[in-house]
Structure 1
Amino acid sequence: SDHFKGWLWKWTNYIKGYQRRWFVLSNGLLSYYRSQAEMAHTCRGTINLAGSFIVTEDSCNFMISNGGTQTFHLKASSEVERQRWITALELAKAKATRFTESDDSSDEDSLVKNDLRNTLRALVGKLDDLATCNDLISKHGGALQRALSDLESIENNLISQNDSPALSSRIKTVNERATLFRITSTAMINACSDFLQLAQNQGKRWHKAIIHEREQRLRLEETVETLAKQHNTLERALHAGTGPPRPDPSNKDDESKQTNEIASDDEDEFVDASDKGFTTEFVKDHRKTPSTASSSSIDANNASVVLNTANVSDKSDPDKIIRERRSRIPDKPNYSVNLWSIMKNCIGKDLSKIPMPVNFNEPLSMLQRLGEDLEYSDILDRAEKCATSQEQMAHPFNPLLGETFELDRRSDLGFKMICEQVSHHPPAAMHVDSANVSENSGWSYWEEITLVSKFRGKYLNVAPTGVVHLKFHKSGNYYTWRKVTTTVHNIIVGKLWVDQSGDAEVVNHTTGDRCKHKYFAYSYFSRETPRKVSGVVQDAKGIAHYVMSGTWDSYMECAKIVTTNNANKSKPLYKTLPSKRLWQVHPLPVGADKMYFLTKLAVTLNEMETGIAPTDSRFRPDQRVMEEGNWDLANDLKQRLEDAQRSRRKRREAAIAMGQEVEPYKPVWFEPQKCQFSGEVTHVYKNSYWESKKAQNWSACPTIF
């Protein structure tokens, strides 16, 4: 059964340690209270078992975590009691997972739906009882009617023949039939009474619950809206006095420290035996520059190095000409916005399906943001030259319908990229080739990104789905992996900060090598380094070759393993050579705090190019005026573009409803194919965009702007 309750010891913090709490498992949710009496009015915490994992730590201890913001460290009174809980939790998790696979509603909606299902089952059972009684009444009523007819005919005959024994027998039969009918009727009346009583009680219960939830929601909205107004007032006063502050994602607000009751995860995947082996030597950037370039200059803000294209020898090949890229965009205007008035109706919903004002955006489209994955494309150039597949794997690879975005940076960064929005909502498909790509050299990188987002009031979860593909053509090494979950905290009140959490596994399908990364979720009580990432590179036989360590926002290092001590199989000890730094974050441009904190590459993404497709994101009028600082006009233009797209979609749906033959929408530059490794259908590049650009043939492009 998925209903279970009892006392457990829960880890709270380092001061109070384990505290005795009353836990209740119901409908896939594990909730706890300080006492049984609290169940009527106060719940101290709840974790949804769907998508969570349960880990047994020792004879009495176990842990439940959703891989993100919630982790319960629990202790039972005995090993038998712990096993009872583990069994009940696993069963409830299996049921909850089945119920929530296609359920995009919030946790509260799921609870109501489960309660409704249980009540409907009871009502259906009572209805079956009524149907059975109805059949019996019909059967016995018909028999009683026939008996009465026979009695009437016999009575007429007896009057003439004076045969009293036959009359007594018939009367006895009639009495039996009448008794059966009376019993069945009584049973039916009782079933109807039970049915009515159950319906009335449940109706009162739902009515009270709805009133209570409505009152709680109203009070919560009033409280949060008051806090949001106070926050906005303080923020405007701060801007007026000192100018806009630069956000520091490493500092968490005091409120999150006081309310966060997440226990630390002390389990490491490895221990590096050579603490003194770390080196501070940075890998030099080896991005391509033409050997014949005669002069270079640094712009006024020291934000980028600009080469003089007038002296490039081969002007006939535009791919070899390095153009001067911009290093600034107009400053972000100081617009104040009441976030709560916009976000309060989005709680528990998929934000990718909700129109948002430009106030929440950077002046970049979703397709252009995919280009930010290539901020460190030089890592792939270095990985291509690695001597072994294990060393290659140690390099960290992952740092409007019909709309497209191209990024041709072969001349300076060594790659070209094309993206396309292939459906009304994500996914968006992307394909990247290195400048020297061929059957025997270079690399290709492609992915289809779909985002599943949930806004929970205080934080926003964004879970990318889909598989990322990377192929090195010379060695034939073919890698795939999935990205981890991103959580944005303090959406309404406090300083925004971002966290990455979860497990990611890079697989080399050519050799069988694997690299398992763990992104540690931030916890105020954890002793781990904030934003820590660790990993181990293993070959097809499971032998470890490299260990990796670092943080996802600063640097990553790897160390080659010399020997392995497997005395503790769950936590082996590795002796390593000195570490080598593989990746170091690039510093932000000067004045980034006034430019949405865009990186050097991101600043150039919306810069206008010549010869690009008419569907390119750079032609979006709302995005262009937003970058120029006119947010009011940008919101108006964004609304018009979205209304026009909805109108086109409704016309197609109306034509289909009228029985007209309408050809399904097909992307221009990508086509659906089944992945040979994951079995999923993804959109793959058709190798036609750059040829169309060279010929300036854009006849296949739809009109979207």
Structure 2
Amino acid sequence: MAASEKRKSNFAPQDLSRLSEAERLQVLAVMRRAQDMDEHEETKTRRRPLEGQLYKYTNVMKGWQTRWFVLDPESGFLEYYEKEEHKKQKPRGVINLAASLVVPSDEDSQTFQVSATNGEVYKLRGVDAKERQQWVDRLRSTSEHHSANVQITRSVDQMRSKSFLSSAPPAQRSQQKSFQSGSTENVSSVAPPRAPAAHPHTIDPFREVKEYMQEAEDYSQDLTQKIDSLPHSGQEITGLDKDILLIKATSAATLQCLGHCLSMLQQKQDSHSYKHRSNSLGSIETSHDIVVPSLKINRSISNAGSIASPSGSFTSVSSLPHVIPEPKYDGPINHNEEVEDEVEYKDTDLEAVEEHKSIILHLLSQLKLGMDLTKVVLPTFILERRSLLEMFADCMAHPDIFLRIADFDCPEARMLAVLEWYLTSFHAGRQGSVAKKPYNPIIGETFHCSWKIPPEALGSSTEGRSSEKECLLIYCAEQVSHHPPVSAFYFECPEKNICVNASIWTKSKFMGMSIGVVMIGKVHLKLLNHDEEYIFSLPSAYARSILTTPWVELGDKVQITCQKTNYSAAVTFHTKPFYGGKLHRLTAEVKNGNTGSIVCKVQGEWNSQLEISYADGETKVVDVNKFKIWHKRVRPLEKQGEFESRKLWQHVTNALKLGDVNTATEHKRFLEERQREGEKHRRETNTSFPTQYFHKEEDAWVFKNMLGRRAENHSHSS
């Protein structure tokens, strides 16, 4: 499918029927800006040259020969040389990509063909499927761009010719018209020129072709829907059958090719027929821009004090002291005071999208595409009832899987265990079907909790040691920076000698009808008994359909590496394609760097089932929803410090539970204003914020009293 067609489908206003005309126009304006940004990003990618070694099938040798290919997107030419060192010499061959056809081969996953307009066909092959796809995407993008330029150039030539006719003297213009129309002066004076509608054959010579094309597209869409509805396993014919997928891809590619051909034929026909109707051309028709009226936001919605609050028992913001307190040191956390949460965190859906629609539309109209949303105050009603620091803790919903990592004696088994824990952690951290945003932690904010895991829950691994006593897994998190917003968190279990340290900087970006959140930073998992460290990152998250019912998907490529064992895992979180496809898909594979062999492959959905295929042919199906959710243990509010998350945000949380958005907004604004005053005070006094539990080492924040360092200090003292 062409990139332009993908963009059109992505920004098609399919769910705006319930909006008023003014709201619809405003949304369309935002979507046009989003499309412009998307096209700008694509243009930047397309303009970057691409070069590398490919295999080229040569008729002389009747076989494959390596050639060095260089794609110049600006000129639209693909050149190839015998070797990379020969790039300064004359190329062995040059392919003009304008109006060319680039098609993946059905022979294997590496071969593809480039059919140039001069009739030559080049058969090429990449090293693997990933490289082939990279070349196919870039070649197609360049071909489409230069094909469109050819059409635009022809249109400009027509416009210039039209302008020349309208500006020429009357006598010259009449002579030019007579010459172009092929008629004599007498004929033109006797028979006035007819409108094009008088000639039914010249209305649209491609009308019948367009009807056939439309019919073919309908059949193709019906075919795609039926293929997508096929089961993926267990039947004689499945949706993943090689021939079925080939039919699906071939039909889409054929329609795309026919569409390009029809477009170019229409341009050629327009250029030819223009000469015969130049006398009927007047001024150039111009398109009218849509004027988007600005919407007035109801003051009663945005003014927190204009609506009575049903939560009269809350502390009034006006009664709170507006001072700039520094967080007090929490002191040693007594985990024996913690009590288990009665129920796991489940957020409610956005029940009143219509009620808050005007606020969302107003917000969208103020944002610029690509804008960093870190400093943007978002509406309170889209908030979850928990802090980001607590959300990271909720990802540790399966501590039994995490602690079992340390029990395996084999490095390969430990990497597989790390991967399984990593892939099964996201569904628990993301609760609720609707995308909501956790509280932005206030600088100095902390969160503490723990899990107690009995020995029978850990069992014994096939290669490792069984647990004989209860294990305590503790969690400590702190907001260590405001700009940029950095959250540091730490897990440890002394009984298993395992710990995790991370500092994550969240960066949000406005993308039109969606918001992207990038998690910048690394997570370090240490197995002290094996002297191993596993390093990985967290995937980016995207909130889609923010105007109606927002939903979340993950999309990123993540590497899990262990330098000591030389094992690594590559994980890809796939975003949903524009047509068909499934939500929340991921694929992964574990590689032994010492031998270069693939240990296992994983595919499935991160919030549902994962299928693990091992090198020996065995398979394992993991259903994340069947795993036990271990509730975290947290100290009651009366025992928490003033800057611990639940106590700090308690008034906002209580108001949101009652649906009192205005009171929640008041308390949220108070906390944010107090934080800004503190930042201003520290700038004026040239002082830094005193963190409690983490200190900065280079670009990362590290827990001050890590398990490994305590063990080292204990050994030195003894």
TM-score bracket for the superposition, by shorter chain length: 0.3 to 0.5
TM normalised by structure 1 equals 0.48
TM normalised by structure 2 equals 0.47
Q: Which has the larger radius of gyration?
A: 1
